[in-house]
C-alpha cells in the first residue's frame, strides 16, 4: 500500500534537530527526502552521542528514511546541481541562520523563478523579521525567551529547562504541518508557498493558560512544580513506595477521589467546593490531605483505586521503564533497523502518527555521508566520470 506522501520530493538542507525532525516526519510517510550535507563534515549531529563504531545514534534516529547527498553550495558547480534539483523538487527545507541561503544565491524569489511550484520551509530562532531575526538559537534559547523556563521548576528553585528539546521538535512539527497545508493548497492553485516558523514563536504559542493568565487576568505566572495552575488536584504525589501523578479535571472526579479517601466532608468543605476554590487552597491544605492518604498505600494499590474511578493516573517512569512498557510495544513505538556504519541493529523511536493501512516500520536506515550522490546525480543526466570529477574538486 502506498504511503500518503509518495511522489513528493524534499530537498533537506537542515541539520541539528528542528529541521531534521520535520523532514523525518515527511520521510516516515513516504516523501523522498534528499538530505544535503556539506562534504567531509556533514550534519553537526554526526558527532553527537551516543556513538557506536564512530556513527551517531542521534543522527541515526532523526535521519532515518532519507537519502544522503553531499554538496558544496559555495561552488558554482554545486549551485548548478542544486538548481537542477530544484526543478525536480516539491519542497525545500532549511534551518540556517536567516540570510544564509540568500547569500548563497537562492532567495525564495529565485527559487520561484526556477520552480513556481516549490514550497520553501524554514525554521529559525526568531523568524524572518524583527531585530532578532539574524541571531542564531538553540532550543534552550527559545525556552528561555518564550517564557517557558520562567514557569518550569519549583517555586523556590531556579528557572528550569524542560528535558527534551521541545523548541526544536515542536517547531519541526509546526513546519511539517505548514508544508502539508502548502502542498494541499498547491493542488488547487498550482503555486508554492514560503513557510516561516520561529522557535520562540512556537514555544510562546504552546504556553497554554500561562499567556492568557497575563493578558486577561493581569497576573505574572510563576513556577509551581508539577502542579497545574488552573486545575486542582492535578500534580505529582508520594505513595508508600514511589511517586505518581493524577489529575481531577471535574468536580465529579474530585468527589469520587474524596470518597475513595474516606473523606466525604472534603467535598463540601468551603475551601474545595469549586475547582477555583481548590486551586486557591491547594497548597498546603488540599495536597496535604491527599498525601496523608496516598502515603499509606503502594503505587500498585493507588493505580487500581484511582484508575478504577476513571481518574487519569500515571506512574512516573524512567526511560528504560517507558521503553519496555507493554503499551510502548503495543503501539510499535520502538522500531528496529540495521544501521550501516554502526553495523548492528538498533532501536529508535517510531512514528506516533499511525495511519491505518500504512506499514508502521522503518523503510531505510539513516544514510552514510554522501551515500546516494552517484544515484541522484545520474538521475539528473550526469555520467559516472562527471560525478567522480566533482568529488575530486570538492563539490561533493
Residue where a domain stops, chosen among 286, 315, 344:
315
Residues 314-347 have pLDDT tens digits of 999 999 999 999 999 999 999 999 999 999 999 9
Q: Are both 136 and 285 inside the same structural domain?
A: no
Residue 33 falls inside a structural domain:
yes
Residue where a domain stops, chosen among 315, 346, 378:
315
Q: Are both 144 and 281 inside the same structural domain?
A: no
Residue 36 falls inside a structural domain:
yes
Residue 2 falls inside a structural domain:
no
Q: What is the CATH number of the domain that holds 263?
A: 3.30.1540.10
294 has a pLDDT exceeding 90? yes
Q: Enumerate the H helices of 99-208 as residue ranges.
A: 100-103, 108-114, 139-145, 166-189, 199-205
Q: For the ranges 205-209, 237-241, 323-327, which has the lowest average pLDDT? A: 205-209
Residue 296: CB atoms within 10 Å:
11
Band of the pLDDT at 164, cuts 50, 70, 90?
Answer: very high
- Cα angle: 190, vertex 195, 199; to 5 degrees: 165
Residue 266 falls inside a structural domain:
yes
Q: Are both 273 and 294 inside the same structural domain?
A: yes
- Cα angle: 323, vertex 165, 62; to 5 degrees: 65
Q: Are both 307 and 360 inside the same structural domain?
A: no
Summarize the confidence of residues 64-83 as an average pLDDT.
98
Summarize the confidence of residues 358-362 as an average pLDDT.
96
Q: Are both 154 and 298 inside the same structural domain?
A: no
Residue where a domain stops, chosen among 280, 315, 350:
315
Range of the domain at 184: 9-206+328-393
Q: Are both 54 and 119 inside the same structural domain?
A: yes
Find the catalytic residue in 168, 196, 235, 256.
168
pTM above 0.75, yes or no: yes
Q: Are both 297 and 332 inside the same structural domain?
A: no
H-helix or E-strand spanning residue 86:
helix 76-88
| Domain count for the chain | 2
Band of the pLDDT at 1, cuts 50, 70, 90?
Answer: confident
Give the mean pLDDT of the chain: 97
Burial (CB count within 10 angstroms: exposed 0-12, middle 13-18, buried 19+), residue 269: middle
Nearest alpha carbon to residue 336 among 360, 370, 316: 360
Find residue 334's DSSP bridge partners: 349
Contact call for residues 246 and 312 (beta carbons, < 8 A): yes
Q: What is the CATH number of the domain that holds 347?
A: 3.40.50.10540
Q: Are both 103 and 180 inside the same structural domain?
A: yes
Residue 222 falls inside a structural domain:
no
Q: Are both 108 and 130 inside the same structural domain?
A: yes
Summarize the confidence of residues 143-159 as an average pLDDT.
95
Q: Are both 299 and 341 inside the same structural domain?
A: no
Residues 5-57 have pLDDT tens digits of 999 999 999 999 999 999 999 999 999 999 999 999 999 999 999 999 999 99
Q: How much of the chain, in percent, has pLDDT values that exceed 90?
A: 98
Helix (H, G, I), strand (E, B) or coil at 51: strand
Residue 183's pLDDT is 98
Residue 44 falls inside a structural domain:
yes
Residue 199 falls inside a structural domain:
yes
Q: Are both 153 and 238 inside the same structural domain?
A: no
Q: How much of the chain, in percent, has pLDDT values that exceed 70?
A: 100
Question: Which residues have CB under 8 Å from 381's CB, separation 6+?
Answer: none
251 is catalytic: no
Q: Are both 95 and 173 inside the same structural domain?
A: yes
Residue 34's pLDDT is 98
Categorise residue 29: left if φ over 0, alpha if ψ from -120 to 50, beta otherwise.
alpha
Band of the pLDDT at 229, cuts 50, 70, 90?
Answer: confident
Helix (H, G, I), strand (E, B) or coil at 36: strand
How far is residue 396's CA from residue 293's CA, in Å, rounded to a whole number? 66
Residue 186's pLDDT is 98
175 has a pLDDT exceeding 90? yes
Residue 264 falls inside a structural domain:
yes
Amino acid at each position: 500500500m502506498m504511503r500518503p506522501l509518495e511522489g513528493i520530493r524534499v530537498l533537506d538542507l537542515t541539520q541539528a534537530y528542528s529541521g531534521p525532525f520535520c523532514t523525518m516526519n515527511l520521510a516516515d510517510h513516504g516523501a523522498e527526502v534528499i538530505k544535503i550535507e556539506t562534504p567531509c563534515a556533514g550534519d553537526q549531529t554526526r558527532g553527537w552521542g551516543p556513538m557506536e563504531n564512530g556513527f551517531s545514534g542521534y543522527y541515526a534516529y532523526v535521519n532515518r528514511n532519507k537519502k544522503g547527498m553531499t554538496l558544496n553550495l559555495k561552488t558554482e558547480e554545486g549551485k548548478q546541481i542544486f538548481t537542477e534539483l530544484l526543478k525536480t523538487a516539491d519542497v525545500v527545507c532549511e534551518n540556517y541562520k536567516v540570510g544564509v541561503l540568500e547569500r548563497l544565491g537562492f532567495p525564495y524569489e529565485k527559487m520561484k523563478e526556477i520552480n513556481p511550484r516549490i514550497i520553501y520551509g524554514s525554521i529559525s530562532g526568531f523568524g524572518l523579521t524583527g531585530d532578532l531575526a539574524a541571531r542564531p538559537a538553540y532550543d534552550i534559547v527559545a525556552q528561555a525567551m518564550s517564557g517557558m523556563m520562567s514557569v518550569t521548576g519549583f517555586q523556590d528553585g531556579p528557572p528550569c529547562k524542560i528535558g527534551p528539546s521541545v523548541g526544536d521538535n515542536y517547531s519541526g512539527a509546526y513546519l511539517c504541518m505548514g508544508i502539508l497545508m502548502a502542498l494541499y493548497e498547491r493542488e488547487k492553485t498550482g503555486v508554492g508557498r514560503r513557510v516561516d516558523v520561529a522557535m520562540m514563536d512556537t514555544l510562546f504559542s504552546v504556553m497554554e493558560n500561562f499567556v492568557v493568565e497575563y493578558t486577561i487576568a493581569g497576573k505574572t505566572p510563576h513556577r509551581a512544580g508539577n502542579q497545574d495552575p488552573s486545575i486542582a488536584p492535578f500534580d505529582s504525589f508520594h505513595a508508600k513506595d514511589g511517586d505518581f501523578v493524577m489529575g481531577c479535571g471535574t468536580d465529579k472526579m474530585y468527589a469520587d477521589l474524596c470518597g475513595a479517601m474516606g473523606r466525604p466532608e472534603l467535598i463540601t468543605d468551603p475551601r474545595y467546593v469549586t475547582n477555583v476554590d481548590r486551586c486557591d487552597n491547594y497548597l498546603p491544605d488540599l495536597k496535604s490531605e491527599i498525601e496523608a492518604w496516598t502515603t499509606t498505600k503502594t503505587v500498585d494499590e493507588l493505580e487500581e483505586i484511582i484508575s478504577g474511578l476513571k481518574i487519569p493516573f500515571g506512574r512516573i517512569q524512567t526511560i528504560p521503564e517507558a521503553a519496555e512498557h507493554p503499551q510502548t510495544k503495543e503501539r510499535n513505538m520502538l522500531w528496529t533497523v540495521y544501521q550501516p556504519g554502526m553495523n548492528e541493529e538498533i532501536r529508535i523511536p517510531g512514528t506516533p502518527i499511525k495511519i491505518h493501512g500504512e506499514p508502521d516500520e522503518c523503510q531505510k536506515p539513516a544514510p552514510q555521508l554522501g551515500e546516494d550522490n552517484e544515484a541522484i546525480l545520474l538521475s539528473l543526466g550526469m555520467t559516472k566520470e562527471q560525478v567522480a570529477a566533482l568529488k575530486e574538486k570538492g563539490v561533493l
